Chain A
């Protein structure tokens, strides 16, 4: 039961000011996929997501999308202008900009938006300014905005950066629920053990795709060293790979000299 193709990148390269950020990417997202992209800082995760969304145009190769594919995008929180004068409700209602004609949020939209907020544990916060929220709540406001658009494909850029363990679990559960409801998901993350290892499919990226497969196939010392350029060890714990920083021993040895 292979799902229909939603997005296909064929031999795609993207550049900023003529410096290539990602090279020769061959990559397909199908209906029902739940994919994580991992790679070091600057490896092109955000660039790949933006190319999928269509906000960056490849300099080589191409991206093909299912016609009228509805995508929801949750940007990396660092890119949001937290000082902008908008409330939580206004942010969530934004994605219906092309359909909604009235300046005001309508009653129906408000009811819909409140349901989404409730579901994300943001009930009662709809009139707060976006800066007056905790990091985890801020993150979820943007998930709410993406969901309000009723996407077929949800694209999240580091949805768990800077949130605590509990919030991370909540986000994971929420994504799993959405996936069960038929939303296809692609996300990027720096969190190998807390997030990536739980996903059915992982892509290791370092300008090029180093590996693409299940966590057990992809989270191997060879692939990780090639991706991150640093030695790492992989343990298997309860059938799941756990990545351990390989430099640990060396650092521990140096630190022990101070002990």
Chain B
């Protein structure tokens, strides 16, 4: 009995696992927090687009031997702000333009890694994330972005709420909507940047959407969504990461599947009420 019990703690004997689970849990909470805005604005394609754009930057910086956070960071934040601007103008074809540009960035990154990268393994790590490569710097980076995000969202809570619900009237009432949106896109890009090494390019957008959608089913209050969603994100990330050790599955895939399971359970439990609440969310 005590043998089995002790077995439950084995993963924590590995430093790489501890680092990985810390980064993943904070990343889950962070994605949960910013995901609220992504989901309520019907912009889930932005998480998808940004992560693909950042991938290009990550590959380019790897090939050119530039520090990941510097190279991919500049690239990611720049594409975030540009994507935000295109999306804001709500032009016909804006999604298509974003899709083309970010997919091109992704393809370029892939080609660069094929041509100049070391091994197939590193591509896989960027696409699907990896717990093995997680270093102390990743913990520091993800914590810093999480603290920054919480401080900004709390300090500018009203402006964020108003600009998300009704940008036009917010603008007229004196909220600097363009600035708020740029800030949000900047935070999203930073989030993707610091979580990508663990979660991977392909599954980050799911982590932005699932916790917030679950939170939306559970509450009708924006303020409550802002803490329920990070909790759900953190719990899925922690549980998923932990289970992946025993199931010998990809950490990010297990995290997303755990989140999906929570979605299904909440969907079933909240019934019609939950369904009507999320029915208005676009592009989930």
Contact = CB atoms under 8 A, between A and B. Distances in A.
A83 B275 CA distance: 11
A103 to B, nearest CB: 4
A81 B171 contact: no
Contacts of A167: none
Contact of A97 (B91, B154, B173): B173
A93 B170 CA distance: 12
A17 interface: yes
B166 to A, nearest CB: 7
A80 B166 CA distance: 8
Contacts of B165: 81, 84, 86, 91, 94
B168 A55 contact: yes
A17 B93 CA distance: 12
Nearest to A100: B158
A246 interface: no
Given A84-B222, A85-B222, A94-B166, A103 B158 contact: yes
Contacts of B169: 73, 75, 94-95, 145
Most B CB atoms within 10 A — which of A17, A97, A149? A97
Interface in B11-40: 40
A83 B222 contact: no
Q: Is the interface of A mostly helix, strand, loop or mixed?
A: loop
A75 B219 CA distance: 26
A190 interface: no
A54 interface: yes
B184 to A, nearest CB: 15
B220 interface: yes
B172 A94 contact: no
Contact of A73 (B40, B91, B172): B172
Interface stretch (B69-77, B192-200, B276-284): B276-284
B216 interface: yes
A95 B173 contact: yes
Given A83-B279, A86-B222, A94 B174 contact: no
B136 interface: no
A54 B40 CA distance: 25
B159 A53 contact: no
B162 interface: yes
A50 B168 contact: yes
Interface of A: 17, 50, 53-55, 71, 73, 75, 80-87, 90-91, 93-98, 100-101, 103, 129, 145, 149
Given A84-B222, A97-B162, 9 more contacts: A83-B279, A84-B40, A84-B164, A85-B216, A86-B222, A90-B223, A94-B166, A98-B159, A103-B223
20 contacts: A53-B172, A55-B171, A73-B168, A73-B172, A73-B173, A84-B165, A85-B225, A87-B220, A90-B161, A90-B222, A94-B162, A95-B162, A95-B173, A96-B158, A97-B159, A97-B161, A97-B170, A98-B173, A103-B158, A149-B173
Q: Give 9 closest A-B pairs by Cβ, nearest first.
A: A83-B280, A103-B157, A98-B174, A97-B158, A129-B220, A97-B162, A94-B162, A95-B173, A53-B172
